[in-house]
Structure 1
Amino acid sequence: MPIAVGATPVRIKDLADFDGVRGNDLVGYGLVVGLDGTGDGMRNAPFTEEMLAGLLERLGVNVTDDALRSKNVAAVVVTATLPPFARSGSRIDVGVSTIGDAKSLLGGTLVMTPLKAADGNIYAVAQGSIIAGGVSIAGEASRVVEGVPTGGSIPVGARVEREVEFDFAEVRNIRIALRNADFTTATRIEDAINREFARRLAVTQDSGTVLVEFALLGDVNPARVVGRIENLLIEPEDRAKVVVDHKAGTIVMGDRVRISKVAVSQGNLTLKVSEAPLVSQPNPFADGETFSVPRTSVEVREEAGIGFAQVDDSASLSDLVGGLNALGVRPRDMIDILKSIHAAGALHADLIVQ
């Protein structure tokens, strides 16, 4: 299938995932030591106290509850992702986040922490110095925090101890799962694969899945076949969307957005009410009372609007944005206009408001 002029071809590996080729989430619960007085308060975080006592006992140190008053220890949750086909002994990155009332993880070291998957088995063990992404400075009366010092990471901080059993060489077929389901994109992937191998290997099952059979290729290495497939170039298709972030005043629109013929009018009305009370006092040594006399000022101001502006039939993204910018419409006003155009049925796209 020829690629349209001006379209940007994309690799299949950037549009879809291969069934079975996936990572696995890992999680663990551990201790960070070596903090500069920014750790958990033992009385406010009893789980930290219990875990620290258990760690010291395993190391042969007998302690009592009264002896644990350290502010240099914090309880943390450790997270990581086990990559596909990770082998025993390979290293992976981990993230560390506090769960108690610790103020910062700067300068801390994670003590050996086992990481488990959803099946309850341990697949990796994490340990190492934490790189925190913030700064916390506190005084007697105030505290300044930049970033998030209660979270950090340990690059290559975990070692894989158990492998996920999956023999890719024995796979006889594989499913390609599109990240954005679309029938047009799925059929283009099917056509590109069949054209590359000159036979009907791929079949579109639905808008998000393409099945590839290796049997028609004879005795082949599935990894080499997938390597050829994932680098094929196709032109992806997607629904026209307009994404609006009303809080930040951000608008993102795809180039397939179209607007039907519609007239737009926009203006602003500002009502300002202010109070400036007057105080009335009697003359000196006179027999009288002091009164407060209310005084209200009301101001109504209507800013100049854009009047009625007509958007032609099937206007493109550049036409719409260029026209509104030429009329001096501000970003937040443009968001309201887009909502109104969508409500009128003239915006031919999915309007996503965040």
Structure 2
Amino acid sequence: MKLSISHRLLAVVALGAALLAPAHAVRIKEIAAVQGVRSNQLTGYGLVVGLDGTGDQTTQMPYTTQSVANYLQQLGITLPDNKASQLQLKNVAAVIVTAQLPAFAQPGQMVDINVSSMGNAKSLKGGTLIATPLRGADGEIYALAQGNLVIGGAGASAGGSKVQINHLSAGRVPNGAQVERAVATPLNEGDSVNLGLKAADFETARRVAAAINSKLGGSSARALDGRTVQVQAPTDANARVSFIAQLEEITLVQPIPSARVVINARTGSVVLNQAVTLGPCAVAHGNLSITISSTPVISQPAPLSRGQTVVAEQASIQIKQEPGILIQVPNAPLLSDVVRALNALGATPQDLLAILQAIEASGALHAELEVI
């Protein structure tokens, strides 16, 4: 069943309206986070062994052979230089291992890891990641990864035919890395904590500070800018944790965000939030279509002329441009009116991208246009 352009636009805008609904009560933890409390990205280079002949082609991936030789040397097995370069390792693949180190992670804690092939391995299914150090941006080792891969796919090939479901060159190892070093957080430093809003907005920052002062009394909270709210906090670690937990549960009426239209130029998706309005304007948009057709033409030589039959092509190009009808778009103070006015244009999603940009340039679209 195919939806009409009007129905598709209504569905997209309804999703945007649901995500950005009118003002309603939210908790501070849903719109802000404590600054300094963050995760850290880890990465490492390792080897996956035990594959069923689906590993890297070592003739094309020399670093896999070199990595195996280095690993064997660490185990006390030294190969001659002329032999190390001749290794045929069909069951080994070079991989990149990534993980996210959570905030407050302590040594001994287990975290999930992602394993992705960096060579031409056909599949990592059934493989085992050998001990791989994971480093942070500072080059220090923060975790050690090892374990059996879980691949969410399957594949088979025979006689030149191949069938594959999902991706076979990337997988995960649940609880595959053990934290070896903790990352210090500045949570207990100073006599205050800073709340960072997920989206910069001066009115939201003002309301957060006002809600905290109303709940706790006094003037312990103040908005430093459109994203940061500073709150006076106890210096004792236990008391500060309880204080932050209380802060995150404070509710406030979230203001309507600034009007914004988000356009995805790759997919043609258009999302409008509740604050978008339209001024009166007129729109004319015509369609241009170009048709190119090719007809084979056969030239047959005369009898006994010793000529050759020649096949040529005759191309025909036609350009058709439909006239654009001038449509008056009325003033639309509500989101439902905006949707109704845009649907009246009858434009495809791709045409709607150009129309919205033109309306915004004319000043009739009272919203910020963002193309992603």
> Which of 155, 163, 168 does residue 149 from structure 1 map onto?
168
Spell out, residue by residue over 1:80-107, the C-alpha distance to the aligned partner (whole angstroms, 9 max, x if none): 1111111221111111112222222111
Partner of 2:67: 51
Partner of 1:41: 57
Q: What is the CA RMSD across the aligned residues, in angstroms?
A: 2.9
> Which of 84, 89, 96 does residue 115 from structure 2 map onto?
96
Paired residues for 1:265-276 under 5 Å: 265-276=284-295
Partner of 2:241: 223
The amino acid that maps onto 1:132 is I
Report the alpha carbon displacement of residue 251 of structure 1 after superposing the two structures with TM: 0.9
Partner of 2:352: 334
TM-score normalized with structure 1 length = 0.87
Secondary structure at the aligned position of 2:24 is classed as coil
> Which of 30, 33, 48 does residue 46 from structure 2 map onto?
30
The amino acid that maps onto 1:130 is L
Which has the higher relative contact order, 1 or 2, with Cα contacts under 8 A spaced 6 or more apart? Answer: 2
- Alpha-carbon spacing, 1:42–1:279, altered in 2? closer, same or farther (3 Å): closer
Secondary structure at the aligned position of 2:267 is classed as coil
> Which of 329, 340, 361 does residue 322 from structure 1 map onto?
340
Report the alpha carbon displacement of residue 6 of structure 1 after superposing the two structures with TM: 4.9
Q: State the distance in 2 between where 1:289 and 1:114 align.
A: 71
The amino acid that maps onto 2:58 is M
- Alpha-carbon spacing, 1:158–1:323, altered in 2? closer, same or farther (3 Å): same
The amino acid that maps onto 1:20 is G
TM-score normalized with structure 2 length = 0.83
Q: State the distance in 2 between where 1:283 and 1:275 align.
A: 26
Q: State the distance in 2 between where 1:289 and 1:89 align.
A: 82
Secondary structure at the aligned position of 2:94 is classed as strand
Paired residues for 1:164-313 under 5 Å: 164-166=183-185, 168-169=187-188, 171-214=190-233, 221-234=239-252, 235-276=254-295, 278-279=297-298, 281=300, 297=316, 299-303=318-322, 305=324, 307-313=325-331
Report the alpha carbon displacement of residue 160 of structure 1 after superposing the two structures with TM: 1.2
- Alpha-carbon spacing, 1:158–1:275, altered in 2? closer, same or farther (3 Å): closer
- Alpha-carbon spacing, 1:268–1:200, altered in 2? closer, same or farther (3 Å): same
Kindly indicate which of the two structures has a greater share of residues assigned to strand: 1
Spell out, residue by residue over 1:166-187, the C-alpha distance to the aligned partner (whole angstroms, 9 max, x if none): 4745552111111211111111
**Count of aligned positions:** 348
Kindly indicate which of the two structures has a greater share of residues assigned to helix: 2
The amino acid that maps onto 2:245 is G
- Alpha-carbon spacing, 1:138–1:340, altered in 2? closer, same or farther (3 Å): farther
Report the alpha carbon displacement of residue 157 of structure 1 after superposing the two structures with TM: 0.9
- Alpha-carbon spacing, 1:278–1:17, altered in 2? closer, same or farther (3 Å): same
The alignment-based identity, stated in percent, is 42
Secondary structure at the aligned position of 1:221 is classed as helix
Report the alpha carbon displacement of residue 144 of structure 1 after superposing the two structures with TM: 5.1
Please tell me whether the aligned partners of residues 180 and 238 of structure 1 are also in contact (alpha carbons under 8 angstroms). no
Where structure 2 has 5 or more consecutive residues not aligned to the other structure, the ranges are: 1-20
Report the alpha carbon displacement of residue 117 of structure 1 after superposing the two structures with TM: 1.6
The amino acid that maps onto 2:365 is L
Report the alpha carbon displacement of residue 347 of structure 1 after superposing the two structures with TM: 1.6
Please tell me whether the aligned partners of residues 93 and 154 of structure 1 are also in contact (alpha carbons under 8 angstroms). yes
Which deviates further from its counterpart, 139-148 or 156-165? Answer: 139-148
Question: Is 2:6 the partner of 1:16?
Answer: no
Q: State the distance in 2 between where 1:288 and 1:84 align.
A: 83
Where structure 1 has 5 or more consecutive residues not aligned to the other structure, the ranges are: none
Which deviates further from its counterpart, 180-189 or 333-342? Answer: 333-342
Secondary structure at the aligned position of 2:204 is classed as helix
Report the alpha carbon displacement of residue 126 of structure 1 after superposing the two structures with TM: 0.9
